[in-house]
Amino acid sequence: MTSTSSRQLTSRLPPEVNRILYVRNLPFNVTSEDMHEIFGKFGALRQIRLGSQKNTKGTAYVVYEDIWDAKTACEHLSGFNVANRYLIVMYHQSARMRESVEKKREETRRLQETHGVTGDQR
């Protein structure tokens, strides 16, 4: 039995834990090699996507092969200092985001119907 499978048998992970980490507050000049050096210490990486647009600079998605490695990295790297910036590391929550967006759309539709507004900006 490997250490990973023994961990899986002895403890359950919270539902928000997954293999994809969302990282904020990165230095704008951080490279993919820097990210591999920092995050690769905690396990095998599947992918790193650095933000390259004006509104995504300083952010990244880090995908691990194993969920336990992602959990360990999140715990150890939250608040980690990189070039005088403290990293904000959290789990990516795509389902929660979709729920939130759909809920707001439904609320907007309801308010438009209640107040007789079409939503057109003309």
Q: Encode pLDDT of 49-82 as tens digits.
A: 999 999 899 999 999 999 999 999 999 999 999 9
| Average pLDDT of the chain to the nearest whole number | 85
Supply the pLDDT for residue 115: 84
Tell me which of 103 and 28 has the higher pLDDT.
28
> Which residues touch 35 (CB under 8 Å, ≥6 apart)?
48, 50, 60, 62
7 near 66, Cβ under 8 Å?
no
Q: Encode pLDDT of 40-49 as tens digits.
A: 999 999 999 9
Supply the pLDDT for residue 7: 55
**Secondary structure string (H, E, C) spanning the chain:** CCHHHHHHHHCCCCCCCCCEEEEECCCCCCCHHHHHHHHHHHCCEEEEEECCCCCCCCCEEEEECCHHHHHHHHHHHCCCEECCEECEEEECCHHHHHHHHHHHHHHHHHHHHHHCCCCCCC
Query: Which domains, from first to last, does the chain contain?
Result: 17-115 (3.30.70.330)
Mean pLDDT of 93-117: 78
Is the pLDDT score of 97 beyond 80?
Answer: no
